[in-house]
């Protein structure tokens, strides 16, 4: 029965990746008008999630220095992944899809897998706790998925391809839920993924997305993106407060 709850929750969470479908009917001009704002929101959500959720949670479960070693390990690995993708896709002098688009998918896949583990753990504790946790996870996934969809399109993907790839990345939450149900609490490995994923999020947000925001020369659009960057951070803080209030 618990496994059924976990599967239903993680599958529902996965379908949030299709939220980007609402933009399929928009004109290219309309989509481009909000893309920069979505990039700003995504950068804020990634950094906010890394610092206020993943790292904060890790510090409660493992020694401080061990947490930061793993954060840097994640940061370094994502740096190496970007170098590989940059060489693999752009070594011929042409790169139609920005490297950070692939990093978003990798980072989001890790993040969603961890979400699945968290959802599984909460349902193993209590069904009510599981439901509350799922609502909280989905509340921050919805705007983040819209932001990620915008970043993928901004990075060179077609809208349909961005939707498909984003959905595939989101399905890792189902895998995380299944793994969590069978192995969580016996292996103790889940906690080590938190700071590792945080390092990846920090790299993507600070090294890739924020520099993209600086490319906007129109001051009004630049400030709009900055406001959405702050909104992304604020939303993740709000989700954290929601978690704490639900405990």
Question: 137 falls in which pLDDT band (50, 70, 90)?
Answer: confident
Task: Answer yes or no: are the C-beta atoms of 13 and 166 closer than 8 Å.
Answer: no
Token pair in block for residue 40? 């700003």
| Region 6-14 average pLDDT | 91
Residue 172 lies in a domain: yes
Residue 19 lies in a domain: no
Domain count along the chain: 1
**Domain encompassing residue 131:** 2-6+34-246
Task: Answer yes or no: are the C-beta atoms of 74 and 196 closer than 8 Å.
Answer: yes
Residue 25 lies in a domain: no
| Region 177-196 average pLDDT | 77
11 pLDDT more than 90: yes
Question: 202 falls in which pLDDT band (50, 70, 90)?
Answer: very high
**Residue among 138, 112, 98, 128 at smallest CA distance from 54:** 112
158: number of CA atoms within 13 Å, CB side? 3
Residue 45 lies in a domain: yes
Residue that wins the pLDDT comparison between 141 and 13 = 13
31 pLDDT more than 70: no
73 pLDDT more than 80: yes
8 pLDDT more than 90: yes
159 pLDDT more than 70: yes
Distance of CA 76 to the CA centre of its chain: 18
Residue 139 lies in a domain: yes
162 pLDDT more than 90: no
Q: What is the pLDDT of residues 94-118, one digit of tens each?
A: 445 566 677 778 877 887 888 888 8
128 pLDDT more than 70: yes
Residue 133 lies in a domain: yes
Residue 229 lies in a domain: yes
pTM of full prediction above 0.85: no
In the chain, how long is the greatest CA-to-CA distance? 55
| Region 193-212 average pLDDT | 85
Average pLDDT, the chain: 80
173 pLDDT more than 60: yes
2 pLDDT more than 50: yes
Token pair in block for residue 157? 């993907």
Task: Answer yes or no: are the C-beta atoms of 104 and 152 closer than 8 Å.
Answer: yes
Residue 28 lies in a domain: no
| Region 123-148 average pLDDT | 72
Instruction: Render 169-202 in DSSP notation, one character per residue.
Output: HHTHHHHHHHHHHHHTTTS--HHHHHHHHHHHHH
**Residue among 156, 189, 146 at smallest CA distance from 38:** 146
């Amino acid at each position: 029965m618990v496994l059924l709850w976990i599967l239903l929750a993680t599958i529902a969470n996965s379908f949030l990746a299709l939220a980007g479908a609402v933009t399929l009917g928009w004109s290219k001009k309309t989509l481009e008008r909000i893309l920069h704002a979505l990039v700003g929101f995504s950068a804020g959500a990634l950094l906010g999630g890394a610092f206020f959720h993943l790292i904060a949670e890790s510090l409660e479960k493992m020694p401080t220095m061990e947490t930061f070693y793993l954060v840097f390990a994640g940061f370094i690995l994502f740096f190496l992944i970007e170098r590989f993708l940059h060489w693999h896709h752009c070594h011929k002098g042409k790169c139609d899809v920005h490297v950070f688009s692939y990093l978003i998918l990798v980072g989001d896949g890790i993040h969603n897998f961890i979400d699945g583990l968290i959802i599984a753990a909460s349902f193993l504790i209590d069904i009510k706790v599981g439901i509350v946790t799922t609502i909280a996870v989905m509340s921050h996934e919805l705007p983040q998925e819209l932001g990620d969809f915008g970043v993928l399109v901004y990075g060179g993907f077609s809208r349909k391809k961005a939707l498909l790839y984003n959905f595939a990345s989101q399905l890792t939450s189902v895998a995380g839920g299944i793994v969590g149900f069978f192995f969580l609490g016996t292996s103790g490995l889940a906690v080590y993924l938190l700071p590792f994923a945080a390092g990846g999020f920090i790299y993507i947000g600070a090294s890739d997305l924020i520099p993209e925001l600086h490319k906007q020369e129109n001051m009004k659009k630049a400030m709009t993106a900055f406001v959405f960057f702050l909104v992304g951070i604020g939303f993740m803080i709000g989700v954290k407060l929601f978690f704490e209030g639900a405990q």
